[in-house]
Structure 1
Amino acid sequence: MTVALSIAVFTIAYILIASERVHKTIAALAGGGVVVLVGIVGSDDVFYSHRTGIDWNVLFLLLGMMIIVGVLRQTGIFEYVAIWAAKRAKGSALRVMILLVLITATASGFLDNVTTVLLIAPVTMLVCERLEVAPTPFLIAEVLASNIGGAATLIGDPPNIIIGSRAGLSFNDFFWNLTPIVLIELAVFTLLLPRLFRGSFEVDPERAADVMQLEEREAIRDPRLLVKCGIVLGAVFAGFFGHPVFHLEPSLVALLGAGVLVLISGLPQRDYLSAVEWETLLFFVGLFVMIGALVKTGVIGRLAKFATELTGRNALVATMLILVVSAVLSGVIDNIPYVATMSPLVAELVEHVDHPAQADALWWALALGADFGGNLTAVGASANVVMLGIAKRSDHPISFWEFTRKGIVVTAVTIVVAAPYLWLRYFAFA
């Protein structure tokens, strides 16, 4: 009974989110409330369980970085970068998109992709405002690029951190094994942009000429605050990179950085809280509770186990099945809880594979499938939800299906490119 009910609640909530008949935050919170009220999950499951509860690390990482972005916005640095990018692209909207996509993907390899999206979105809005073009295609392209670029390293995407911990894989393991395919995927994605966003690059020549006359240095409104932000951001990033040394979770690092920056900036509350996406944070709360119900009742575990049983003892078949299944399920169910559930099952499969390279291929298939699969739908990855929230607050809402139409194409292409890479590197030439 609880299994069927948890599936029904999640399905109905997901349909409401996808159809946009009900606001996604209301749908997610209502679904979470139902599974709590009927007793599928209790307070211990919701607030204290790492397996079935709210992922507080994700929520507080988002909150901390949103506050930091709110303070940083007061300096004028986003206007500076916007003008710089537009001038380097010589006013071409397509070149601006390519430049911002490459910046986003590169940053996502060394920062959490949600953090990257929070930093790049304000820049994008300002560039598009200067060129008088719609920002929606640019925002979608950037979040797709962030999920691709985040696959390159251990710290680029939360699912990679889970996999690294479970499999004992280091930062260097991820870098040397996944960065090559990510670079290939980015090249393919860049070539795909003109077709994927056809009709989005018309710019008035006079507007482009006006942009070329702008002086980016004049955009900096508060140089002293910018220096303070630079120091705090440097310390925050050092905390992210220095996790093995300091043993501080990224969420705590972000909150500490936000607190220090609020203290030394002297800004009023309305300024540093203006960038906080409260609706997005509450949406995650409801989503985590509903998915926790699916985890507790064994639904996700059964799906993952069924997929692994189909592979038998054939490592190549297992690798390809994990890649495809992970891409599909991660697009429907947030890739963080999916990877957390799938990791123990992949670990069981690895024990039956004698060849070390082929055993590692199972882990790389899980990482690539989950990371690239996050692009499949608007709720497939945390960065997607955050970007949609930013777009809505900026009066440029992106619908579930508008995002998903592009995401399906990009996910299909990236998985098709990843499959031969895994076969060639770990099986054909292992």
Structure 2
Amino acid sequence: MIPALALFALTYVLMLRLPQERPWVALCSAAVFIALGEVGIYDFSLGAALRAVDYNVLLMMAGTMGTVSLFIESKMPARLAEMLIVRVPDVRWAVCALALFAGFVSAFVDNVATVLMVAPVGLAIARKLKISPVPVLIAIAVSSNLQGAATLVGDTTSILLGSFADMNFFDFFWMRGRPGIFWGVELGALASMAVLLWLFRRETQPVTAKVETEVEDDVPAALMLLTVGLLIAASFLPQPGGDVLRALYELRSGLVCMGLCLFGVVRACLRARSAKPLGRVVRELDRDTLLLLFGLFIVIAGVRAAGVIDAAAALFHAIAGEDPFRLYLLLVAVSVVLSAFIDNIPYVAAMLPVVQGIAGLMNNGAGMEPYVFYFGLLTGATLGGNLTPIGASANIAAIGILRKNGEAVATKDFLRIGVPFTLAAVLAGAAYLWLVWGRA
């Protein structure tokens, strides 16, 4: 177990020190785990490694990224944001409306893509009103991070949880006769919106904006809605018999996302009478994240085969004891702190099996339902990224946009919004989740 733990720790250190090379670090680590298994140090073969990869998650992500690319290109998000802005009285409400809009979009679209959609509108408004765009774009970024945990397709971490815990789209809203994690996220959004209103309380300049953006194509928006609808429908399909049909069933969500993406790309190419739309979609795919996840699935399976996951679960259980509330608080707090400095994708991927193991050790080994711990993990890991400028990819994207537009972003500028925003959202969401799921 010690060599596997050392390799896992080295993998994490290298991913932290070499953020641009994270996919290759994960893939190299996966190759080492496979080699250790093939020589007999662990019971872990190449076949087992390839079976450990969740291809459904990878297909879902790739397909959604492609459809989102077409959606952004259609200019529909910019027009929707403008339609929202013209209905608010002043800058304070304009910023909050943009943040709410970014959060709504982010519940169904990747957080970074959401920032790329909404940020140009925020910049334009800031220029018109001659105010600093820095707090405006920070508010958009942290709001998009918050809502990523609201639905199955909102963020990579949500997709990971849904696949690991076998949760369908509706389970995020209502599950086992109780309200799901969606409502905890929305409660956190309300609390954080109160924070934004207070932070921007002095920005009372009137807003004069127009709906100027012309939507170039309505079909990508329809494909986005159809993706959500078919994901919901696919979650109700009964599991078929037969190996081939069962394999397709396990990939059903990914096939829905990829199928609609391919339809959109082919249609765009036919309209343009060229392959340029295909090239644009391929260029905008987040290949780094896809490769990172591919490697991490294998690394975590190797760590599990070596017994590290069971040992980590036992350590958490030893610290928290038999008190579920203490364990829940520990998971939320640790997730918030760690996610403020490290990427939450590898963290959540590594911790999901640990949390499952901890839940199995509770009640003197009799075990308990793990859902409240899953939700606590996801809440802390998703919202914790808002504490610092480097805690989430959406934050980094927003700061990059500001710098390209000649705006300097000091750490204190981000912390002034990120810290109270995060604390309000985490406290409200975590309290709700414990009351609904922890006391059952």
- In structure 2, relative to structure 1, the CA distance for the partners of 1:197 and 1:326 (3 Å cut) is same
Structure 2 residue 261 is matched with structure 1 residue 255 = yes
Residues 1:67 and 2:107 aligned together: no
Question: What is the match of residue 176 of structure 2?
Answer: none
One of 177, 185, 195 as aligned partner of 1:192 = 195
Deviations 1:38-81 (A, max 9, x none): x5788x79x9575599x8447624641453145313xxx45533
**Displacement after TM superposition at 1:95 (Å):** 1.0
Say if 2:348 is the partner of 1:366. Answer: no
Name the CA distance, whole Å, in 2 between partners of 1:358 and 1:346: 11
**Post-superposition CA distance 1:78-98 (Å, at most 9, x none):** 5533442332123x2221111
Taking the aligned partners of 1:421 and 1:327, their CA distance within structure 2 comes to: 17
Residue 181 of structure 1 deviates from its aligned partner by 2.5
Distance 1:52 1:408, change over 3 A: farther
AA partner of residue 181 (structure 1): G
Residues 30 and 262 (structure 1), Cα distance of their counterparts in 2 relative to 1, 3 Å cut: same
Alignment of 1:205-354 (within 5 A): 208-209=207-208, 211=209, 214=210, 216=211, 219-220=213-214, 225-244=216-235, 247-249=252-254, 252-253=258-259, 255-266=261-272, 281-282=287-288, 285=291, 296=302, 301=309, 306-351=315-360, 352-353=362-363
SS in 2 for 1:374: helix
Deviation of 1:103 after TM superposition, in Å, equals 1.9
Quote the Cα distance in structure 1 between the aligned partners of 2:235 and 2:82. 38
* Structure 1 unaligned spans of 5+: 17-23
Contact in 1 for aligned 2:384/2:391 (Cα 8 Å): yes
Matches within 5 A, 1:353-392: 353=363, 359-378=370-389, 380-384=391-395, 387=398
The equivalent of 2:424 in structure 1 is 413
Bigger shift: residues 396-405 or 327-336 = 396-405
Q: Secondary structure at the match of 1:323?
A: helix
CA distance in 2, matches of 1:358, 1:158: 23
Deviations 1:184-231 (A, max 9, x none): 2112211211555688x485x6xx44x3xx4x2x542xx6x4234444
2: CA distance, partners of 1:106 / 1:72: 18
Provide, for residues 294-325 of structure 1, a one-character-per-residue CA deviation record: whole Å limited to 9, x for no partner. Answer: 88567984656533432222222222212222
Superposition RMSD on alpha carbons, in Å?
Answer: 4.7
Q: Which moved more, 1:396-405 or 1:60-69?
A: 396-405
**Alpha-carbon distance change, 135 to 407 in structure 1, aligned in 2, over 3 angstroms:** same
Cα distance, 1:67–1:172 mapped onto 2, change above 3 Å = closer
Identity of aligned residues (%): 24
Q: Secondary structure at the match of 2:74?
A: helix
Q: 2:80 corresponds to which residue?
A: 81
Does the Cα contact within 8 Å between 1:308 and 1:345 map onto a contact in 2? Answer: no
Q: Please say which of residues 131-140 and 272-281 is displaced more in the overlay.
A: 272-281
TM-aligned CA distance change 1:133 to 1:61, over 3 Å: farther
In the alignment, what sits opposite 2:40? none
C-alpha separation between the residues in 1 aligned to 2:296 and 2:352?
Answer: 20
Checking the alignment, whether the CA contact within 8 Å between 1:64 and 1:254 is kept in structure 2 is no
Verify the 8 A CA contact 1:236 1:253 in the aligned structure 2. no
CA distance in 2, matches of 1:288, 1:400: 33
Q: TM-score, normalised by structure 1?
A: 0.71
Q: Tell whether the 8 Å contact from 2:52 to 2:298 is kept in structure 1 after alignment.
A: no
Aligned to 2:184: 181
Instruction: Name the residue aligned to 1:146.
Output: 144
> Where do 5+ consecutive residues of structure 2 fail to align?
36-45, 174-178, 238-251
Q: 1 CA distance for matches of 2:367 and 2:308?
A: 28
Checking the alignment, whether the CA contact within 8 Å between 1:163 and 1:343 is kept in structure 2 is yes
* Change in 2 beyond 3 A, CA 1:379/1:313: same
Residues 99 and 143, structure 2, Cα contact 8 Å, conserved in 1: yes
Distance 1:367 1:360 in 2: 10
What is the distance in 2 between the residues matched to 1:336 and 1:316?
A: 25
Task: Tell me by how many angstroms 1:101 deviates.
Answer: 1.5
* TM-aligned CA distance change 1:171 to 1:130, over 3 Å: same
Q: How many Å separate the matches in 2 of 1:391 and 1:66?
A: 22
* Cα distance in structure 2, aligned partners of 1:397 and 1:36: 39
Which of 76, 93, 105 is matched with 2:91 structurally? 93
2:107 is paired with a residue of what secondary structure? helix
